[in-house]
Amino acid sequence: MKSNASYFAGLDIGGTTVKAVLVDAQAEQAGALVEVRSLVKDGYEATFRQLELALEQLAAGAGIERGAIAGIGLDVPAPSSDGVIWGRANLADDWVGTDIRGLLSARLGLPVFMTNDGNAAAVGEYAMRKEHTSSLMLLAPGTGLGGGLVLPGGRCYEGVNGLALEVGHVSVPFREDDGSLPPCSCGLTGCSEAWVSLMALRRRLALELAKPQWAAHPLNQTDAPIADKAFRLRDFAQHGDELAVSIFRQQGFILGYLIADLVRVFDPGLVVIGGGLAETSFRDLFMTWIEEGFADRAWSVYRFSPLDSSQATTRFEWAIGGDAAAAIGMAYAARELFQ
Ligand SMILES: [Zn+2]
């Protein structure tokens, strides 16, 4: 199997860009991160052309022939099983039910590993922590709430259908003021994603701004769409705005509460928090809210070693890979699988 072809490419298909990373046989990055436009809404054929463009740029950037690339790791922004996407998300219709992995593999003449973006980012965070060897669980609040679990040794746990760690659709015991359960994008109610995500942020903000106590809030003095107001909420939180802080505090608490139950299932060595909040100046505060929710639900045995009660056994860290984590993870996975 070994040949001169000893480079491995990670391709991360996002809604606006495709990010690509190349690693060599020693798992060292070769060349720089490449970004090309994502054409996911134009269908998979248009996207495959962008992936080929990204591979050309990766090879050029590393000073190698494209033929030296021996395998591909690909992640997609939708649930998929065995190389086939079944949830549409923001993709064009032709992605759904198509053997994307098989078609891409045939087109490139290369083996392709394919998974979702949460799994890919988890592998990336693992790969970037070279000293870390135990399991790692990632939770990434973004548009939705993604997750991933990497086992000791670096292999992602995908589940038999590729649908493990769909943490955003685990139910949490929280209710609205009127006792109802919030609706989720998946069609169910009461999912964690309906509390902890950008979608949840928009819904919560709209509900709060309708209350008399926030009538004088600056966000109530504009006709901007709720999506724009929610986008500005981070800035407000960074400046200590009471409304913004209360909304993010609730999100952090519920995320911590969810993590406590997930830790009860997986007992991971490290919990990594990803998503856009990792880049905000109030992230330290957000982490204390996560830990509040965690402490409310977790048994102390999961928080502190029974042998040394001063030693925390469940550690939390912010993601370090930023939006390159998924591409890095897929390059790493391709090397692990196809070298
Ligand atoms: Zn759901």
The pLDDT tens digits for 173-200 are: 999 999 999 999 889 999 999 999 999 9
Parse the chain into domains and list their residue ranges: 7-117+323-338, 136-319
CA torsion angle for 225, 230, 235, 237 (degrees, to 10)?
140
Cα(245) to centroid(ligand 1), Å: 25
- pLDDT of the residue at 86: 85
Cα(331) to centroid(ligand 1), Å: 30
303: pLDDT strictly greater than 50: yes
Mean pLDDT of the chain: 93
Domain 136-319 has CATH 1.10.357.10: no
- pLDDT of the residue at 3: 47
Please give the Cα distance from 137 to 125 (Å, whole number): 9
Cα(186) to centroid(ligand 1), Å: 4
The pLDDT tens digits for 227-285 are: 999 999 999 999 999 999 999 999 999 999 999 999 999 999 899 999 888 888 889 99
Give the confidence band of 314 by pLDDT, cuts at 50, 70, 90: confident
- pLDDT of the residue at 282: 87
The pLDDT tens digits for 77-97 are: 988 899 999 876 678 899 999
Q: Is the pTM of this model over 0.85?
A: yes
Cα(55) to centroid(ligand 1), Å: 35
Contacts of 83 (CB under 8 A, 6+ apart): 99, 100, 101, 102, 112, 114
Cα(5) to centroid(ligand 1), Å: 42
The bridge status of strand 145-150 relative to strand 112-116 is unpaired
Cα(145) to centroid(ligand 1), Å: 9
2: pLDDT strictly greater than 70: no
CATH for 7-117+323-338, options being 3.30.70.20, 3.40.50.2000, 3.30.70.990, 3.30.420.40: 3.30.420.40
Give the confidence band of 1 by pLDDT, cuts at 50, 70, 90: very low
- pLDDT of the residue at 140: 95
Cα(170) to centroid(ligand 1), Å: 7
Cα(188) to centroid(ligand 1), Å: 5
Tokens of 192: 């964690």
Please give the Cα distance from 59 to 68 (Å, whole number): 8
72: pLDDT strictly greater than 70: yes
309: pLDDT strictly greater than 60: yes
Interval 123-143 mean pLDDT: 94
Interval 129-142 mean pLDDT: 94
Percentage of the residues of the chain whose pLDDT score is greater than 70: 97
Cα(165) to centroid(ligand 1), Å: 13
Cα(190) to centroid(ligand 1), Å: 7
Cα(266) to centroid(ligand 1), Å: 21
Topology match between the domains 7-117+323-338 and 136-319: yes
Tokens of 8: 């491995």
Cα(180) to centroid(ligand 1), Å: 15
Q: Are 159 and 82 in contact (CB under 8 A)?
A: no
Interval 295-314 mean pLDDT: 79
Cα(169) to centroid(ligand 1), Å: 4
Cα(20) to centroid(ligand 1), Å: 30
